[in-house]
Structure 1
Amino acid sequence: MNRAARTTAPPAHEAPLTLPGHPATAPPPDTARATAVLARCRELTRPALVDAVGRLDPWTGRMAAYALGWRDAGGTPDPQGSGGKGLRQALALLSAEAVGATGATALPAAVAVELVHTFSLLHDDIMDGDPLRRRRPAVWRAYGVGPAVLAGDALHALAVQSLAEAPGDRAPAAVRHLSRTLTALVRGQADDLRFEELPWTGPDAAGLAAYRAMAEHKTGALLGCAAALGAELGGAPQATVAELDRAGRHLGVAFQAVDDLLGIWGDPALTGKPVHNDLRQRKKTYPVLAALAGAGPARRELAALLDSDKPLEGATAAHAAALVDEAGGRAATRAEASAQLDSARACLRAVRPDPAAARDLDALVGSLLDRAW
């Protein structure tokens, strides 16, 4: 298993990412700073992202603007639309700043990873049959499956083009990195779909190690790519680029683990999806797999419930969620996410980031464990 799948916290002598003179413990979450960092990065990236989407033909451009939360399905500006928090674009800009470059240097990377993320969501919603995305109809529900697939393909191509046109001599290396990431994303999504066919228990069941590998590819690869591309375009040595890629992959596994918690216990007003949604769809998420890896009556009852043909709706879904919690699934998932964040901090500390960027990265990493979005 590679470093991005490490599940234990770093040794005691490895302090988390902190500035000199700060306590050698993980800092408490600075949610206000993290929110401000994300907002700053979104504001910096938005004009370049708008310019990139403006290259598309009007029809696919309209669907892209809807997917990004800028417009409603009819093409009218939508002040209530949400384009997400912009974590990937923020990682690209902060990584450039961490290696001593300006955030603007990494704008082609920020645009590319945001477009890739958006296209992956379009296709993911189709494959999962999810009707909602960020409290609005998913693109495939708003425009149809065929048009949504086409819009995703357009965003994919636009991402590569945007990065290939980055100024300087590091663009070819950046495009190669993005291409490897796209292959990893497909592998992660394929594993995620394949999990649906595997049994809940027994020798052929999907285990936690397989889950971590899937999450690293499906979610961690693009976060790692975002951090690596910012450093790449910022002119950093390849060892630094690789270390930031590893940091992002750890963040991705942590992010997916927390996402799984939200998929069962999240607030629908914040997640945009019904409570217990992942259980209703019988998704093999980390909390469920961790609960099934244990022992005891709650684990046995949960396994029997998942193996039955009984729909997981209403009170039955709530009971399944309680069984996952009782069998230790929720606690194990938080522990996994926390350990992955510790490993990400160790990677970030190894590159000796610029102090201002270190503070912003500290805030961002610290906000992920208890995020509600």
Structure 2
Amino acid sequence: MSASVTGPATVSGFPRLDWVEELVLPALREAVSALPAAESRVAGYHRGWCDAYGVPVPDRAAGKLVRPALTLLCAAAVGADPGAAVPGAVAVEMVHDFTLLHDDVMDGDALRRHRPASWSVFGTSAAVLTGDALLAAALQALAATPQARAAAAVRELVGALLDLVRGQSVDVANEKALEVPVDEYLAMAEGKTGALLGCACALGGILGGVDGERVDGLREFGRRLGVAFQCVDDVLGIWGSTRRSGKPVGSDLAARKKSFPVVAALAEGGPASRRLRSFYAAPDAEGGPATEVLRRLVEEAGGREAAEREAARQLSQALRALSCARPTAEAYRLLQEVADAVTRRDC
């Protein structure tokens, strides 16, 4: 194995795997620089590599690189050289950025990674086109892998993209729905968030040269972890810190979006739940409640506790699935550390 899969230090609570940055960032920068000039500049700004004029910004952290880390660790988990999975790691990170660029446009969120969101700087057309360019580049990266594995890798990503679109579509539809059952929300989260993490893990196995049951175990590990990630992200979207996360906190409540804590709170049926329901049923009523009031009602109705409990349940299922992939001991330890960090992060 050409890279040492170790990393005792952390960044924002995640294991800091310096070897992941060393393998992935040069390839990711090369892929972004190969985009058309305008889209390359927007993508570089989005990642924090440059300012709005394209001037390089020094000393900005690479970020957690969670998805690329999962891809490389899953390759290591099946006994392969993590370097073989770098195209998959680059592809999933570009797809992740594609989804963020489009999400910010759809949601109207003006802050991303502690900076003005790309659409608010360059305009919505530029942000959408840059997302499209990143998606095309991701598919190109996988298509260029050895022929014996390229077709399976591209099929894996395309399947995840279709699941992602379905999940996002349901999420948008839920904004207008009066009732969103908890199980339907979890199915949506598995598509919207779990699909790409599952793909990241499966690509590690595919590009690492295995198939069948081991890839299935890696994919299921990622999908369950993705649902746990979404539950925690929903909690942070209500009770987190904008200063720490770099994203607007409370905006989902203000927009009456039905994240998991809200869905669970609305289903609880007690006094706080009924009052919350009345506010969600008439979101445009004059003199509506402050975000802090909604936050308190969600917590009183058990929404926060339910989301944290569901995240723990999904994590347990993820680790059981990972065992089915028969991972190496060292890679399993690091994947477990990443999975634990996903459900315990505060930003």
Q: What's the TM-score bracket when you normalise by the shorter of the two chains?
A: over 0.9
Name which of 79, 85, 106 aligns with 1:127. Answer: 106
- 1:118 corresponds to: 97
Aligned equivalents of 1:68, 1:109: Cα separation in 2: 18
Post-superposition shift, 1:209? Answer: 1.2
Contact 1:37–1:360 at 8 Å: present in 2 too?
A: no
Does 1:182 pair with 2:161?
A: yes
Name which of 54, 57, 64 aligns with 1:85. Answer: 64
Aligned equivalents of 1:300, 1:256: Cα separation in 2: 25
- 1:15 corresponds to: none
What residue identity is the alignment partner of 1:345? L
Name which of 34, 42, 46 aligns with 1:55. Answer: 34
Does 1:172 pair with 2:161?
A: no
Post-superposition shift, 1:310? Answer: 4.2
Structure 2 alignment gaps of length 5 or more:
1-7
Post-superposition shift, 1:38? Answer: 4.2
Does 1:155 pair with 2:134?
A: yes
Structure 1 alignment gaps of length 5 or more:
1-29, 200-204
Contact 1:211–1:286 at 8 Å: present in 2 too?
A: yes
Aligned equivalents of 2:211, 2:287: Cα separation in 1: 51
Cα displacement string for residues 223-273 of structure 1 (whole angstroms, at most 9, x for unaligned residues)? 000000010000113211111111100011100110000110001111223
- 1:218 corresponds to: 192
TM-score by length of 1: 0.87
Does 1:193 pair with 2:172?
A: yes
Post-superposition shift, 1:277? Answer: 2.1
Cα displacement string for residues 155-211 of structure 1 (whole angstroms, at most 9, x for unaligned residues)? 010000011101351111100111111111111111111111211xxxxx1111111
Cα displacement string for residues 316-366 of structure 1 (whole angstroms, at most 9, x for unaligned residues)? 211111111111000000000000000000011122211111111111111
Larger deviation, residues 278-287 vs 299-308: 299-308
What residue identity is the alignment partner of 1:275? V
Aligned equivalents of 1:40, 1:293: Cα separation in 2: 45
Relative to structure 1, is the Cα distance of residues 187 and 367 closer, same or farther in structure 2, using a 3 angstrom cutoff? same
What residue identity is the alignment partner of 2:279? L
Contact 2:156–2:199 at 8 Å: present in 1 too?
A: yes
Aligned equivalents of 1:104, 1:311: Cα separation in 2: 57
Relative to structure 1, is the Cα distance of residues 312 and 213 closer, same or farther in structure 2, using a 3 angstrom cutoff? farther
Contact 1:227–1:244 at 8 Å: present in 2 too?
A: yes
Relative to structure 1, is the Cα distance of residues 295 and 285 closer, same or farther in structure 2, using a 3 angstrom cutoff? same
TM-score by length of 2: 0.93
Post-superposition shift, 1:75? Answer: 0.6
Aligned equivalents of 1:84, 1:46: Cα separation in 2: 11
Cα displacement string for residues 97-136 of structure 1 (whole angstroms, at most 9, x for unaligned residues)? 0000111110000000000000111111111111111111
